[in-house]
């Protein structure tokens, strides 16, 4: 205790603090300017009427009551986002795990299979979406051509049918499962082999081996996949927007205002609504309210999921 | 892994030598092999066929592309040349490359020291700092986009360009910091201590010892950032939409389709041209990439 008061040591401590600050400075600036400031500003604008031309004026809770109780598109957007969060994340995890299991079992041509499963993940989202709108186009798309060739008379119209638009987006997202496959594959290869051998000798079948050996050992990675999946899906934007626009068939130039979420708002997500309010209708206050709602849901969901042991939390040594 | 285990277990139980039991096990193994590989082929079709159909359509004539026929009657390679002749297409390439290259360089340069401090320095608030980094990763970009846009557009007059997307990358990127920190944690303390004993300052230690050892991690971060920028649609839509001269390939592609409503062949050629660079980069840097993905998920 007394030692730490020695001037030499104190100087050393101060130098260490300055050094730490120096190394952290890019992020400290970035965090304050690009995270803390805009978050506070979003809160501020949520109480303002502001059309980005005239000075903002204070309107109290009016934006909040408008968005939460009166805005017709809020309900559908929230519903679609939550639908996608639940269905897309669940199917991605199940499918990713299945493909991960498959590639650990396949020996002949393993490298080729892995590459084939992985590469679609790299396709830029816009390009992948354009490709899927073509593949699934109702009139002459290859998928429906094949479906009618095998005798399915009235195949779905996919992105043009409100009931099929979201499932089509899910299919597109399953196509890009490569990242999850790699993560699950690595986790599966990490399961101690002796445990499988022991289970085998105890007469455990394939399902029992999965349930009592594989599953407990990969749960943290599954949780990691669920948390990051939920976060990503809360931000789901590009694919829904591009698919809706292209499938609707309207010709869009710069500045054209289109009603997002074609068909029948079935692909309208909360982030799209933020964009449309803030950058097409110039209703800054309402856009900021919706941003904060999105933030609140994202935080609630992640804290809830992070309570359990996850890959992210265990990073906190 | 499991097949070898199965084989070992089977050998233990049956002893060596042939008998009906061994034959039964062998037959089971063959059936298992066939089942797994048929499943893998079926899965591979789901992942590969979209590329095949996109490619086949990209070399069809306009008329055939709408007909629903799957195999091109004649191979129109000139479709690709026509895509390149589309006004703006070359500008979009240039803008995408600028955004991706500058963004990657800035992100790496600014994130490495931060990740190093978070991984190797002991200081108060270290845990909090790490939690804040993670929470930035969790924040949907749409939450802060409105005020950020207003600052860039009104204070700095930079809307209609990609600078509002590139400049912030000089101040660290949460995801890259997180990934690099995970990587730097695996570098043993002894290397750093011996460098310090030899009289290296922290900056020299970082540049001479840590950076060379962390090359695979840095390569992974650089690739991820490059792909992130190349694929970004939301950013360019917010800041560059009003100025076609600043569009990127990802943003331009969708507009390209809207302008060529009926020309699926040209659109598919353009789509492949947008996908090509990332796939080529991946094939050259597969190892770094897969290592990076694994690192975020598993070592976490």
What residues in chain A have per-residue pLDDT under 50? 1, 310-317
pLDDT at A256: 56
Cβ–Cβ below 8 Å for A130 and B254: yes
The CA distances from residue A63 to A102, B166, B175, B293, in Å, are 51, 32, 33, 41
Which residue does chain B place closest to A29, by CA atoms? B171
Chain B nearest CA to A198, separation (Å): 10
pLDDT at B17: 53
Whether residue A103 contacts residue A114, with contact meaning beta carbons closer than 8 Å, is answered with: yes
* ipTM, 2 dp: 0.89
Cβ–Cβ below 8 Å for A251 and B259: yes
Confirm whether pTM is higher than 0.80: yes
Which residue does chain B place closest to A315, by CA atoms? B300
Q: Give the separation between CA A31 and CA A37, rounded to whole angstroms.
A: 8
Whether residue A271 contacts residue A294, with contact meaning beta carbons closer than 8 Å, is answered with: yes
Cβ–Cβ below 8 Å for B268 and A42: no
Chain B nearest CA to A216, separation (Å): 15
Q: Give the separation between CA A312 and CA B296, rounded to whole angstroms.
A: 9
Cβ–Cβ below 8 Å for A27 and B177: yes
SS (H, E, C) chain B: CHHHHHHHHHHHHHCCCCCHHHHHHHHHHHHHHHHHHHHHHHHHHHHHHHHHHHHHHHCCCHHHHCCCCCCCCCCCCHHHHHHHHCCCHHHHHHHHHHHHHHHHHHHHHHHHHHHHHHHHCCCCCHHHHHHHHHHHHHCCHHHHHHHHHHHHHHHCCCCCCCHHHHHHHHHCCHHHHHHHHHHHCCCCHHHHHHHHHCCCCHHHHHHHHHHHHCHHHHHHHHHHHHHHHHHCCHHHHHHHCCCHHHCCHHHHHHHHHHHCCCCHHHHHHHHHHHHHHHHHHHHHCHHHHHHHHHHHHCCC
Going by the DSSP 8-state scheme, the letter that residue A5 receives in this structure is G
Q: A-B interface: how many C-beta pairs under 8 angstroms?
A: 300
| Cross-chain CB nearest to B231 (options A125, A189, A299) | A125
Cβ–Cβ below 8 Å for A23 and B264: no
The CA distances from residue B62 to B66, B73, B79, B266, B300, in Å, are 7, 12, 9, 8, 50
Chain A nearest CA to B195, separation (Å): 17
- Please say whether the dihedral angle defined by the alpha carbons of residues A192, A197, A200 and A202, taken in this order, is positive or negative: negative
| Cross-chain CB nearest to A127 (options B70, B261, B271) | B271
pLDDT at B65: 83
Chain A nearest CA to B247, separation (Å): 11
**Chain B residues within an 8 Å CB radius of A47:** none
- Residue A307 φ/ψ, nearest 5 degrees: -55, -40
- Kindly report, residue by residue over A242-291, the tens digit of the pLDDT: 999 888 876 555 555 567 888 889 999 999 999 999 998 999 999 999 99
Work out the widest C-alpha separation in chain A, in whole angstroms: 87
Chain A nearest CA to B29, separation (Å): 12
The pair of three-digit structure tokens given for residue A85, joined into one six-digit string: 């969060």
Per-residue pLDDT tens digits of chain B, which is 300 residues long:
444 444 544 455 544 556 788 888 899 889 989 999 999 999 999 999 999 999 999 999 888 888 878 899 989 999 999 999 888 899 999 999 999 999 999 999 999 999 999 998 888 889 899 888 988 888 888 999 999 999 999 999 999 999 999 999 999 999 999 989 988 988 888 888 888 888 888 888 888 888 998 888 898 899 889 999 999 999 999 999 889 899 999 999 887 877 766 688 999 999 999 999 888 888 888 877 777 767 665 443
pLDDT at B229: 95
Cβ–Cβ below 8 Å for B253 and A298: no
**Chain A residues within an 8 Å CB radius of B202:** 19, 23
Cβ–Cβ below 8 Å for A311 and B39: no
Work out the widest C-alpha separation in chain B, in whole angstroms: 84
The pair of three-digit structure tokens given for residue A239, joined into one six-digit string: 């694919």
| Cross-chain CB nearest to B53 (options A26, A127, A135) | A135
* A17 at interface of B, judged by CB pairs closer than 8 A: yes
**Chain B residues within an 8 Å CB radius of A303:** none
* A95 at interface of B, judged by CB pairs closer than 8 A: no
Cβ–Cβ below 8 Å for B47 and A116: yes
């Amino acid at each position: 205790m007394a030692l730490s008061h020695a001037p030499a040591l104190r100087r050393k401590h101060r130098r260490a603090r300055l050094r730490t600050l120096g190394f952290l400075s890019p992020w400290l600036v970035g965090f304050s300017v690009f995270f803390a400031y805009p978050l506070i500003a979003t809160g501020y604008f949520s109480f303002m009427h502001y059309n980005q031309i005239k000075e903002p004026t204070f309107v109290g809770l009016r934006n909040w009551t408008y968005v939460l109780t009166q805005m017709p598109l809020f309900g559908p957007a929230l519903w679609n986002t939550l639908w996608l969060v639940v269905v897309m994340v669940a199917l991605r995890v199940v499918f990713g795990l299945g493909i991960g299991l498959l590639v650990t079992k396949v020996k002949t041509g393993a490298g080729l299979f892995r590459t084939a499963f992985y590469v679609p993940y790299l396709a830029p989202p816009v390009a992948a979406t354009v490709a899927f709108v073509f593949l699934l186009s109702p009139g002459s798309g290859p998928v429906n051509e094949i479906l009618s060739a095998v005798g399915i008379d009235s195949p779905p119209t996919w992105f043009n049918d409100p009931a099929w638009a979201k499932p089509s987006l899910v299919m597109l997202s399953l196509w890009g499962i490569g990242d999850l496959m790699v993560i699950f594959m690595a986790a599966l290869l990490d399961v101690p082999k002796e445990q499988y051998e022991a289970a085998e000798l105890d007469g455990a079948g394939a399902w029992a081996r999965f349930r009592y050996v594989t599953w407990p050992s990969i749960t943290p990675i599954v949780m990691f996949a669920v948390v990051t999946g939920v976060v990503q899906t809360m931000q789901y934007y590009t694919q829904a927007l591009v698919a809706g626009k292209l499938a609707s068939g309207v010709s869009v130039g710069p500045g054209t205002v289109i009603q997002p979420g074609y068909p029948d708002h079935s692909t309208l997500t909360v982030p799209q609504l933020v964009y449309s309010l803030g950058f097409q209708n110039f209703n800054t206050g309402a856009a900021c309210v919706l941003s904060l709602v999105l933030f609140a849901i994202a935080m609630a969901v992640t804290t809830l999921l992070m309570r359990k042991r996850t890959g992210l939390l265990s990073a906190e040594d | 892994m499991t097949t070898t285990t199965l084989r070992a277990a089977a050998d233990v139980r049956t002893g060596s030598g042939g008998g009906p039991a061994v034959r039964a096990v062998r037959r089971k193994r063959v059936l298992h092999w066939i089942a797994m590989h048929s499943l893998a082929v079926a899965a591979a079709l789901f992942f590969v066929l979209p590329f095949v159909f996109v490619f086949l359509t990209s070399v069809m004539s306009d008329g055939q592309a709408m007909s629903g026929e799957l195999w091109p009657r004649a191979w129109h390679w000139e479709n690709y040349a026509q895509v390149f002749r589309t006004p703006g297409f070359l500008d979009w390439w240039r803008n995408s490359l600028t955004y991706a290259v500058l963004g990657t360089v800035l992100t790496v340069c600014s994130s490495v020291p931060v990740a190093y401090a978070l991984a190797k320095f002991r200081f108060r608030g270290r845990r909090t700092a790490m939690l804040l980094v993670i929470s930035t990763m969790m924040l949907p970009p749409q939450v802060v986009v409105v005020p950020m846009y207003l600052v860039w557009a009104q204070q700095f007059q930079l809307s209609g360009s990609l600078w509002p997307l590139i400049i912030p990358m000089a101040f660290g990127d949460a995801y890259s910091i997180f990934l690099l920190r995970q990587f730097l944690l695996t570098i043993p303390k002894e290397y750093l201590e011996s460098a310090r004993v030899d009289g290296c300052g922290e900056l020299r230690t970082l540049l001479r010892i840590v950076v060379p050892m962390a090359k695979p991690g840095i390569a992974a971060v650089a690739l991820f950032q490059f792909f992130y920028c190349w694929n970004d649609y939301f950013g360019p839509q917010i800041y560059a939409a009003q100025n076609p001269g600043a569009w990127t390939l990802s943003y331009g592609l969708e507009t390209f389709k809207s302008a060529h409503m009926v020309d699926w062949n040209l659109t598919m050629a353009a789509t492949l041209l947008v996908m090509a660079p990332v796939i080529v980069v991946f094939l050259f840097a597969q190892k770094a990439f897969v290592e990076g993905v694994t690192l975020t998920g598993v070592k976490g």
